[in-house]
Structure 1
Amino acid sequence: MYLLASRPNGVIYAGVTSDLAKRVSLHKQKLIEGFTSRYGVSQLVYYEMHETMEQAILRETRIKKWKRSWKVRLIEQMNPEWKDLFDEATGEVLFGPADIERERS
């Protein structure tokens, strides 16, 4: 499950995928038609890894129903500067919640 933004505190989009790096790359190239390409939403600002696709879809569905302020709080807990967590040069997803959970263990 991932959240994209158009800019810090800009438009927020929630999505789900089994290949985050590939999906974000497609968003950045505007190869996915619709909301994200129309509104320039391509910065990866938050993501979560889930054990199953069903869990990820459930989480995405819940987050889509949240108030904007709740989404902003979620993003800022992990990424207070709204940095793009996708490195276009390497095609890698950078530090995120999965890494934070590993560090806590």
Structure 2
Amino acid sequence: MPLPRNSAYTRGLLIGLSQPGLEVLSMFKAVRRTVKQLTHNEQTPWESHSLTEDIYFNGSGTGVTVGTAPVIITDNTENLFWQIVTQENNLSFYQKYINRYPYGIYSQQAKASIQS
């Protein structure tokens, strides 16, 4: 099997950034869990922050004030997410794709990969 193109941290970050309404510190916790899973607990990412506002990279959460203007990343995230899923070729990643994009471009392929 060829090596993945991105590091475990980059893969976790791309997955986290694709989730709408996820506050940045919650996203970093999800990235940490993904990295630990991908590296079999051999790597644990750390972050340091002094945030005073909730920040959302992919849309804001319901009823949450987000400083002055949230940063929204929307271009090409589904394709990047799918690229990671296919590189990993892991049932849980296919399921995460379906959960995030139930009617996505690759949803039929993901469902077929789970069933096979």
Q: Which has the larger radius of gyration?
A: 2
Report the TM-score when normalising by structure 1.
Answer: 0.26
Could you tell me the TM-score, scaled by structure 2's length?
0.24
The higher-RCO structure (CA 8 Å, 6+ apart) is 1
Return the structure number with greater strand share.
Answer: 1
